[in-house]
């Protein structure tokens, strides 16, 4: 059986479906991603006041762009990046995977694990990407 690990294990959990590691401030209840090692941006609480929480890797596209040139050989160009407004609140940038012909602001996406590389020990390294899902973009006012 092949071993699998996340490209960024401190940020992505290999659940089914995958989840994202964020944090919540115990003082003001702000949910954030990525986790901040220094404290809460909103109220200034110390890092000890931040609890790690799993965030759903699903949401809606807030902006979308196709990258034709960049400084790394991977991912291969062109690729499409979107600003994702997570259902759990925070906003992040993520690469879109699969058929992106309908990628537009407001489209629903869900996180998926995609192959990235196989390391020297034969471990399959996976990365989080987002795929469009069919259905209405409205999530009860979000």
Q: What is the pLDDT of residues 5-26, one digit of tens each?
A: 999 999 999 998 999 999 999 9
Sign of the Cα torsion 29, 33, 37, 42 reads: negative
For residues 109-126, average pLDDT = 94
Domain interval for residue 116: 4-132
Whether 97 is in a domain gets the answer yes
In a domain, 91, yes or no: yes
Residue 140 forms part of a structural domain: no
Q: Is residue 86 part of a domain?
A: yes
Are 130 and 57 in contact, with CB atoms under 8 Å apart? yes
pLDDT digits (tens, 9 = 90+) for 91-117: 999 999 999 999 999 999 999 999 999
Number of domains forming the structure of the chain: 1
Residue 57 covered by a domain = yes
Segment 58-84 shows an average pLDDT of 94
pTM, two decimals, is 0.87
Percentage of the residues of the chain whose pLDDT score is greater than 90: 81
């Amino acid at each position: 059986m092949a071993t699998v690990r996340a490209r960024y294990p401190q940020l992505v959990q290999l659940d089914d479906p995958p989840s994202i590691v964020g944090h919540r401030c115990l003082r003001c209840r702000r949910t954030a991603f990525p986790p901040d090692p220094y404290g809460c941006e909103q109220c200034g609480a110390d890092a000890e006041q931040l609890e790690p929480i799993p965030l759903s890797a699903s949401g809606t596209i807030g902006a979308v762009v196709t990258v034709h040139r960049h400084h790394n050989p991977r991912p291969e160009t062109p690729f499409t990046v979107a600003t994702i407004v997570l259902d759990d609140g925070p906003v992040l940038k993520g690469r879109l995977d699969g058929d992106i012909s309908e990628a537009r602001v407001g489209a629903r996406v869900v996180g998926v694990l995609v192959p990235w590389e196989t390391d020297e020990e034969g471990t399959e390294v996976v990365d989080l990407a987002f795929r469009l899902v069919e259905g209405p973009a409205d999530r009860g006012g979000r």
